[in-house]
Structure 1
Amino acid sequence: MQGFLNLNKPFGWTSHDCVAKTRKLVRLKRVGHAGTLDPAATGVLPVALGKATRLLQYLPGEKAYKATIRLGVRTTTDDLQGDVIASQPCTGLSLEVVKSALQKFEGKIEQIPPLYSAIQVQGKRLYNLARKGEDVEVPARTVEVFKIEILDWREEEFPELDVAIACGVGTYIRAIARDLGVALQTGGTLAALTRTHSSGFDLTNSLTFTDIEAQLQAGRFQPIAPDAALQHLPSITLSATSALKWCQGQHVPVTANIVEILRVYDEDGRFLGIGQLRDDLLIPTMVFEGVA
């Protein structure tokens, strides 16, 4: 079995938990995932099965989320799973002021990841250092936020804002919630998060573990084709002779005006793997299927 699974990750599960559960369900050791989700987050978690794990690095990096931000509260983890550091009602806050502050978080921005995150500093995970109480300086990173759309605003003692966020790889929504609170001088934390799109997979056609178990019991579970998630990459088709040589690790001459990573197919439309074009030679980067 090989291909991808568009998993709708349940609340409270780590991404590692989801991989372990998938291994048991499909009875396959070789399982991996793209784009780690925090335990409190739900939604799209792309899971690779079998040899498709070798394709994870080639998936597109764009992601989208639906998030609820609670203002007036600060926590240790920048979400409601952490301890409350400060709490101050802010009933006088208007939506117009919030809209103006949100605009600063679109485009390429500098962002400091949350202390409780999987980012490595000096070879150690930040969440491990934070749990030990170690004082660590977390370096800022440049991330890109393509769009933030306000979905709902609830003007309460601790106002809540529902937003849709489209962003690039490495963006922490918890950090946006925290930094919005800083910009508004109210404090802010992430109250809920669902990933609606990740690496070419969408929430609308994701599967829960219940769905997967039902499909397996009915004998109709079918992974997503390995190349279906790679449609953002251009493709090239090789002749039978060139395909055989390429699958054997040889560089084959081709005529093309592109210099980038390509999906490689044979004349029968079979996905062979990933190649890179350089100086009119197609170089095997990852051979997925051999030619008989």
Structure 2
Amino acid sequence: MEGIINVLKPTGMTSSDVVVWIRKTLKLKKVGHTGTLDPGVAGVLPICVGKGTRLAEYITEQGKAYISEVTFGVTTDTQDSYGKVIREISPRLKRKDLERILPGFIGKVSQVPPMYSAVRKEGKHLYEYARQGISIDRPSREVSIYRLNLKEWFEEEYPKAILEIECSKGTYIRTLCHDMGQVLGCGAHMSYLLRVRSGPFKIQDSWTLEEIGEAVRTGNDSFLLPLTAGLDLPRVFLAEARAKAFRHGLPTKKAQVLIHSAEKNSLPEAGSYVGTSSFVQVMEGEELIGIGVWREDSLYPHKVFA
């Protein structure tokens, strides 16, 4: 069994808990997730099984979308509702005040990872230091916020806002909420978070663990998506002889690589790639045979599927 499962992770479970559950339910050894969701966060968590585990890094790199509730006037040490309250005031905050600052959080923004996070420092997770009462200097990171939309506003003693957010990998939504509170001068924390999209995987197409369990009991594997379902990479195609060469680790000249017309517009010239954009899905007919990388005028194997 191999492919990708679009799981709707429930609150209360870690991403690793979901992996263990899938491994046990499907009786498989090779199972992995594509990016950690905190235990208190629900939403889309793509799970890779079999050969799919070798594609996890590419799926993790893709953008995310969230719906978040922010509570203003209450600051916590974890920047979410599970932490200790360290400051509490009743702000005179209006919807227009939040609308005024939102544009400043769109585009490339700098974030300092929270102490209660899985980021590593000198071999230990930051949350391990935090639990010991130790604060560590953390370098800021640049992330991208593609869309930030104020969906609802609730004017209460501690005002709340519902935000729709599209962002890059590595964005801390609770830090985004905390930083908004700092700019407004009243403090804030993320009081709820739901991930509604991870790469191409959407919440409306996701499967709960109960649904997966029932499907397995009835011999239904429609929850298992093909390997290509989660890859937002251009596709190239190799004829039989060059596909065989690719599987044996040999490069193929650009002139021998087939690019369907639908893909041509999204595929730069060989040699013009920078960073991860150099990677492509390599197909033989309808079968994904690996991940290739352009170097100068040739396509080289990067990952090959037996």
Measured against the shorter chain, the TM-score band is: over 0.9
Q: 1:8 matched to which residue of 2?
A: 8
Equivalent residue of 2:227, what SS?
Answer: coil
Aligned partners of 2:250 and 2:300 also within 8 Å: yes
Name the aligned partner's letter for residue 243 of structure 2: A
- 2:241 maps to 241
Cα displacement (A) at 1:14: 0.7
Aligned to 2:20: 20
Amino acid at match of 1:17: D
The aligned runs of 1:53-132 (5 Å cut-off) are 53-59=53-59, 60-90=61-91, 92-132=92-132
- Which residue is 1:258 aligned to? 270
SS of the equivalent of 1:96 reads helix
Gaps of 5+ in 1: none
Q: CA deviation at 1:277?
A: 2.0
Letter in 2 for 1:269: E
Displacement of 1:199: 2.3
Give, as a single letter, the amino acid of the residue that structure 2 aligns with 1:237.
Answer: F
- Alpha-carbon deviation of 1:228? 1.4
Displacement of 1:130 in angstroms is: 0.4
Q: What TM-score, normalized to structure 1? A: 0.95
Cα pair 2:9 2:43 within 8 Å, conserved:
yes
Instruction: Read off the aligned partner of 2:296 and give its amino acid letter.
Output: D
Counterparts of 1:277 and 1:107, CA distance in 2:
29
Number of the residue aligned with 2:192 = 192
User: How far off its partner does 1:113 sit?
Assistant: 1.2
What residue number does 2:266 align with? none
Give the Å deviation of 1:258.
Answer: 3.4
TM-superposed CA distance for 1:106, in Å, is: 0.8
Amino acid at match of 2:211: D
Quick one: which of 269, 272, 277 aligns to 2:289? 272
Instruction: Give 1:107 shift.
Output: 0.7
Please list every run of at least 4 consecutive aligned residues from structure 1 whose deviation after the TM superposition is greater than 6 angstroms.
none
Specify every segment of 5 or more residues in structure 2 that has no aligned partner in the other structure, as ranges. Answer: 258-268, 272-277
Aligned AA (1:42): A
Alpha-carbon distance between aligned partners in 1 of 2:288 and 2:30, rounded to the nearest angstrom? 20
Displacement of 1:269 in angstroms is 2.1
Count of residue pairs brought into register by the alignment: 286
Counterpart of 1:236, as a letter, is V
CA distance in 2, matches of 1:95, 1:136: 35
CA distance in 2 between counterparts of 1:6 and 1:258 reads 33
- SS of match in other structure, 2:29: coil
2:270 maps to amino acid? I
Give the secondary-structure state (helix, strand or coil) at the position aligned to 1:43.
strand
Determine the C-alpha separation between the residues in 2 that align with 1:34 and 1:264: 21
2:260 maps to none
The separation in 2 between residues aligned to 1:263 and 1:67, in whole angstroms, is 34
CA distance in structure 1 between the partners assigned to 2:130 and 2:216 by the alignment:
41
CA drift of 1:235 comes to 1.2
Counterpart in the other structure of 2:301: 284
TM-score for both structures, normalised by structure 2? 0.91
SS at match of 2:174: helix
Report the alpha carbon displacement of residue 29 of structure 1 after superposing the two structures with TM: 1.2
C-alpha contact (below 8 Å) 1:46/1:199 kept by paired residues:
no
Q: Is the contact between residue 181 and residue 188 of structure 1 (CA under 8 Å) also seen in structure 2?
A: yes
Using a 3 Å threshold, how does the CA distance of structure 1 residues 54 and 81 change in structure 2: closer, same or farther?
Answer: same
**Distance in 2 between the 1:258 and 1:210 partners?**
46
CA RMSD of aligned residues (A): 1.2
